[in-house]
Amino acid sequence: MNGANQPIGVFDSGIGGLTVVKALMTNLPRESIVYFGDTARVPYGTKSKSTIVKFSLENVEFLLRFGVKCIVVACNTSSSWALPTLRKFFKVPIIGVIRPGATAAVRLTRNKRIGVVGTRATVNSRAYDAAIMRLDPSVKVFSQCCPLFVPLVEEGWTEGDICREVVATYLKPLQKQRIDTLILGCTHYPLLARTIRRVVGPSVSLVDSGEQTAGDVRGVLAGNELLTNGKKNPKHRFFVTDEPAHFHKVGDRFLGKLAGSVERAHPYL
């Protein structure tokens, strides 16, 4: 197992995982982070399970080059399909975003009717359904795939009439089911939270899986005595497989300011 002062590794299919990075920086401000975004092969949400597992294995192998002490699978799609395989093949602690989000939703729901929005692959995997059922079998889960949410975020259209219309169209079936809690099951979706809030109203609790995951990461690091000793300033590195300039531009939108270099990498060549 790697030392306490080694970085945390985070991977995502592209840019959305930066919402998880932001939560980690807020909750674990002394920890260094190595982020890998597979921007050349995004999106994962439309691909088969075998492809998603293959890509995820390659992403972990890349991050291990940096001696990371744990790995956060920031991608909901990879967490849904690849997590058991990753934990089977690698000894480093690996944390996904599904269980933390499900745990928070079960804690928040009052009428036991929870909605999940995500990519088609995440919704089809029923990973959130299974995680919620394990926690409370009496809960009803209603899912909706929202393929236009990611391009809206990456174009910066997170508010306004067009965004609101798209969000309202996708969420209408869930509102008809009288959900009182909604899991934002894709790392891009927290950037749409203000518009989603306007559509669903104040009575529906929104769950940001990335925010919840940061708490799980702290617990895993503390349990393995891997929290940094705090005697160093964190250093962050960002790697992408395509379009580093675009990543930097959009990354500023996610983090306020992208603190660290953006480098191009080809881990699967």
Catalytically active residues are 75, 186
Under a CB-based contact definition with an 8 Å cutoff, are residues 58 and 40 in contact?
no
Residue 28 one-letter amino acid: L
Distance of CA 233 to the CA centre of its chain: 25
What token pair was written down for 201?
Answer: 């109203």
Angle at 240 between CA 188 and CA 166, to 5 degrees: 20
What is the secondary structure of 104-159 as a DSSP string? HHHHH-SSSEEEEEE-HHHHHHTHHHHHHHHH-TT-EEEEEE-TTHHHHHHTT--S
Are 189 and 149 in contact by the 8 Å Cβ rule? The answer is: yes
d(C-alpha 188, C-alpha 191), whole Å: 6
Taking the C-alpha atoms of residue 31 and residue 234, their distance in angstroms, rounded to an integer, is 5
Find, among 149, 211, 144, 205, the residue nearest to 179 by Cα. Answer: 205
Do 145 and 119 form a contact (C-beta atoms < 8 A)? yes
Question: Of 156, 113, 157, 111, which Cα lies nearest the Cα of 132?
Answer: 113
- Residue 96 falls in which region: left (phi positive, over 0), alpha (psi -120 to 50) or beta: beta
